[in-house]
Amino acid sequence: MGFSSALQSRAAHEALIVRQDAELRLMETMKRSIQMKAKCDKEYAISLTAVAQQGLKIDRADEMQGSLISKSWRSYMDELDQQAKQFKLNAEQLEVVCDKLTHLSQDKRKARKAYQEEHAKIAARLNHLTDEVVRKKSEYQKHLEGYKALRTRFEENYIKAPSRSGRKLDDVRDKYQKACRKLHLTHNEYVLSITEAIEVEKDFRNVLLPGLLEHQQSVQESFILLWRNILQEAVQYGDLTADKYKEIQKRIDTLIGSINPTEEYGEFTEKYKTSPTTPLLFQFDETLIQDIPGKLQSSTLTVDNLTVDWLRNRLQELEGAVRDCQEKQLKMIEHVNGGSPVANGSIISNGSNTSNGIQSNKDSLCRQSKDLNALRCQEKQKQKLVDMIKCALNEVGCEELPSGCDDDLTLEQNFIENGYNNEQQQRSNSTSSPGLGIMNELMRRGGVLTLLRGRGRHFKRKSTPQPATPMTRSRQGRFNKLQPRSQSLGSLSISLSTNRPLYEEEWFHGVLPREEVVRLLNNDGDFLVRETIRNEESQIVLSVCWNGHKHFIVQTTSEGNFRFEGPPFASIQELIMHQYHSELPVTVKSGSILRRPVCRERWELSNDDVVLLERIGRGNFGDVYKAKLKSTKLDVAVKTCRMTLPDEQKRKFLQEGRILKQYDHPNIVKLIGICVQKQPIMIVMELVLGGSLLTYLRKNSNGLTTRQQMGMCRDAAAGMRYLESKNCIHRDLAARNCLVDLEHSVKISDFGMSREEEEYIVSDGMKQIPVKWTAPEALNFGKYTSLCDVWSYGILMWEIFSKGDTPYSGMTNSRARERIDTGYRMPTPKSTPEEMYRLMLQCWAADAESRPHFDEIYNVVDALILRLDNSH
């Protein structure tokens, strides 16, 4: 099973990137371990040399002349010295192995980057053409509107002109013909862009993406081969050959030898196996030409006097592009047949004795094959457009081209064939064709038939478009008050006032992110209205649960009204009520029907109810303020989210509120609500007047007693015990993220990195991770459990008893990480009770399963406090 057939989806692509990151982390772990072994071997060699030199210092050696035991001893010491030299040599070779592993890691990073860039490049090509199709359609609609307007103007001037000629009529006719030309040219561009998009998308799925993935698999397997060779070298220089090591060495050789590059990704590919990507459907929008009489046909090029020159020029350009692709292919084929160069300075690997370059002859040929496939796809795409234009030109020929513009006779013939109504009917019936009114006027004057007979030409019958029926009076009426169709929605009744702002409606949820909206809509027919910001422009969205979750942008008409597919309304409230009462689908395609409005949850507050007083801090997403609630006069703390942040960051900001709203514990900071009705988004929490625990420890370092410090540790343990019972992993427990009230009680805060899972694996990199507070297994493997919080709690205890000192002071993050991996633990802070330091060391156990859980930690600290209180 290969990459090209199994890993085409976006999720599989991202999983492949994550897999490569994990392999790079594994390489770093291997490198550190081999470096440590080389260091140990060197130190052992020095010790052995010292032993041998000491053993050769035999006093009065001449007295032992001829002694067999002396000779044996000297030989033994010489062998020890030789063994020391061998250990030193092995250590030096292990350092060479580390260098190779470093180069391999660098090459692997480059290969990963090249894969990401190539994947993005071919995906961008498809996205560009998709956008181009949309743009061409938009142009089509624009020219279509201009064409219609000029056509109407031409009809009016033609009727008014007494002799069917004149300067004004000629000017109008000229503008009308130009609009026809623009429309037809735009039509052809739209058809060509759709055709090209279809070909590009087909090649993306069948050739380019599989080719890239196949090449990537070859590169990855080449890495595995080199990686195995490096490991075999490392094992070779660690073989001591003694009997007690032989069995271990045999097992190691068996394990290392079992690495098979072709099987390395078998389980990974099976796990992320997906079906081939679903083809994107590019179709001509036939609604564009429904009411256009004439020769414009869907997905068909129009060849007439307006477009023939443009088509011929376009044909020449495309034929030139096809020739260029063919020439490039020939050169590439000749280059491959003439030799086997290794492109871009790639190094050919030939076993473990060569350098760590990643490209082999196979890799180079695979890349050249991929490039050749890309050229063939380009040639095929352009050739498709060439054939389409040639076919259109051949069908018409070049002698007598059809007219590209409806002339005045064509319009008049349409009027005659469509019949006519009298003038009174035209005035009273707003649904009549606009062409009929013109025909009535011509018939009244009595000159139409004579005019037609005089021209003596024949025309094809064309249908006259009918305008949409206007809204009835009942739909135009405005409702003062709307009741639900069953008089109640549970205990909810919906009322509507034309003077009431939208943000006051209970079913309007402001800028609540889509993830939160999906969580609220559970049953078919559940709906709510929200606001979203796209391209710095606000849009109102109706979200409905109906065979999944669907989101409809409220359309604004040129008159300032609001609509979906049905009639427009003066306010969004009236539009929603109409959809609800009528029980009509929001759109015919979706079939979504509004049945039950979902009102704001109790913790969704109004922005206007929060009065910001003063800034008291700064967070990752924005400023933190002291504020007051108008409704209760309660002082609160408010975290704000900068309006310029992308939606992904806003979702992360609201994650803290989503987690906190379900927790209630005296040692967890309380959520009062979130404000999403307007910008900026805000999280409203209880105001803890003592501020940050870290700042409190540093300001009050001289006045803190051991009893108070132990009480702080107990408070933090109580809060974390509660979180552990809720399967919540905090991931950022530290003194800076705890608050202190006026009674010295500690509250856990800042849940921005928290996850409600028993085990959480980091998938978005390890950026902004607090290294000195994070457990080794989380740093090395990205694996978080509640026992990782236990490690962080040990650091928090150390901060409390050191009265706000910085952990691992004087060490960089990387240095602290290295020292921890070798077994280093921070010494006890001054005046720390022995039992509390012993608890810290238990929290810092290298094996996560050996650490105590928070329930046990709380009981230990509580018992120590009780004993301290009784002793006084």
Residues marked as catalytic? 732
869 φ, ψ to 5°?
Answer: -65, -40
Please state, in angstroms and as integers, the Cα–Cα distance from residue 754 to each residue in 150, 465, 712, 732, 856, following that order: 62, 60, 21, 8, 22
Residue 96 one-letter amino acid: V
494 φ, ψ to 5°?
Answer: -110, 125
Annotated binding-site residue? 305: no
71 strand-pairing partners: none
Residue from 173, 187, 175, 177 nearest 144 by CA: 187
Distance, CA of 227 to CA of 215 (rounded, Å): 18
Annotated binding-site residue? 356: no
CB contact at 8 A, 261 and 224:
yes
Please state, in angstroms and as integers, the Cα–Cα distance from residue 310 to each residue in 18, 132, 323, 377, 699, following that order: 49, 19, 20, 25, 79
CB contact at 8 A, 374 and 361:
no
Length of the chain: 872
Residue 31 one-letter amino acid: K
Distance, CA of 448 to CA of 645 (rounded, Å): 66
390 φ, ψ to 5°?
Answer: -60, -45
788 φ, ψ to 5°?
Answer: -70, -40
Residue from 570, 592, 596, 600 nearest 508 by CA: 600
Residue from 273, 256, 129 nearest 201 by CA: 129
- Rg, C-alpha atoms of the chain: 39
Reported as half-sphere exposure (CB side, CA atoms, 13 A), residue 336 has a value of 16
CA dihedral 451, 457, 461, 462 (to 10 degrees): -70
Annotated binding-site residue? 616: yes
371 strand-pairing partners: none
Task: For residue 301, give the 3-state DSSP assignment.
Answer: coil
Residue 305 DSSP code: T
Q: Tokens for 437?
A: 């009114």
Distance, CA of 92 to CA of 237 (rounded, Å): 9
Residue from 822, 788, 825, 830 nearest 805 by CA: 830
Annotated binding-site residue? 621: yes
Annotated binding-site residue? 783: no
Please state, in angstroms and as integers, the Cα–Cα distance from residue 682 to each residue in 206, 509, 530, 842, following that order: 48, 14, 16, 39
Annotated binding-site residue? 623: yes
CB contact at 8 A, 445 and 405:
no
**H-type alpha helices, 464-555:** 473-476, 514-520
| Cα dihedral sign, 765-17-221-349 | negative
CB contact at 8 A, 685 and 672:
yes
357: left (phi > 0), else alpha (psi -120 to 50), else beta?
Answer: beta
First to last CA, the chain: 73
Annotated binding-site residue? 617: yes
Q: Tokens for 439?
A: 């025909």
Reported as half-sphere exposure (CB side, CA atoms, 13 A), residue 454 has a value of 7
Task: For residue 567, give the 3-state DSSP assignment.
Answer: coil
Please state, in angstroms and as integers, the Cα–Cα distance from residue 574 to each residue in 478, 498, 599, following that order: 8, 9, 17
Annotated binding-site residue? 71: no
Task: For residue 464, give the 3-state DSSP assignment.
Answer: coil
CB contact at 8 A, 680 and 640:
yes
Distance, CA of 748 to CA of 666 (rounded, Å): 9
CB contact at 8 A, 482 and 581:
yes
> Binding site: which residues?
616-624, 639
> Binding site for ATP: which residues?
616-624, 639
